[in-house]
């Protein structure tokens, strides 16, 4: 099974095991230095927070002989562990007085991250870029 088929299979099996009332989707997330990670997001009805579980490492395990059933079980275990916060009051992020103290910066390679830098707040610094994150 190739990588795309693996992603589709994982999403379908997770969706089947979670059942009605949950939305799943696979999305590509660009990380630092042009690294692309595929993540499975699961959003249950009535929630506004959808954890993302990155699947790249699970595919390597599958290629090494791990069963799809065990992989899906582990993904669901991680999902259950990570969903302690079922609803997040996102108005916090719109009040700079509250959110400002949790904004941090990081310096990354500007040349290797050109695509990422078109999508996130940044400013040039020598041959690098300063990017901002909410901690």
Q: What is the pLDDT of residues 76-89, one digit of tens each?
A: 998 888 766 555 66
Whether the CB-CB separation of 18 and 76 falls below 8 Å is answered with: yes
- Asked if 90 contacts 117 with a C-beta cutoff of 8 angstroms, the reply is no
What pLDDT, in 10s, does the model give residues 41-72?
Answer: 988 887 777 788 999 999 999 999 999 999 99
- Inter-residue contact 18 to 35 (CB < 8 Å): no
Q: How many residues are given for the chain?
A: 135
Q: Which residues contact 62 (CB under 8 A, 6 or more apart)?
A: 1, 6, 68, 71
Q: Which pLDDT score is estimated for 64?
A: 96
pLDDT of residue 66: 96
Determine how β-strand 52-54 pairs with β-strand 122-125.
unpaired
H runs (alpha helix) in the chain = 3-18, 56-63, 68-82, 96-99, 114-117
Q: What is the CA radius of gyration of the chain?
A: 18
To the question of pTM greater than 0.85 for the whole model, the response is no
More confident residue, 130 or 45: 130
């Amino acid at each position: 099974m190739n990588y795309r088929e693996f992603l589709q299979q994982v999403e379908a099996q997770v969706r089947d095991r979670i059942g009605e009332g949950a939305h799943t989707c696979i999305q590509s997330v660009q990380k630092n230095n042009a690294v692309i990670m595929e993540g499975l997001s699961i959003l249950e009805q009535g929630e506004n927070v959808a954890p993302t579980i990155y699947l790249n490492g699970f595919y390597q395990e599958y290629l090494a002989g791990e069963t799809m059933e065990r992989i899906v079980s582990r993904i669901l275990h991680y999902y259950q562990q990570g969903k302690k916060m079922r609803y997040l009051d996102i108005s916090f992020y719109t009040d700079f007085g509250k959110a400002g103290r949790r904004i941090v910066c990081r310096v990354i390679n500007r040349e290797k991250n050109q695509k990422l830098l078109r999508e996130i707040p940044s400013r040039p610094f020598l041959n690098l870029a300063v990017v901002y994150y909410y901690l």
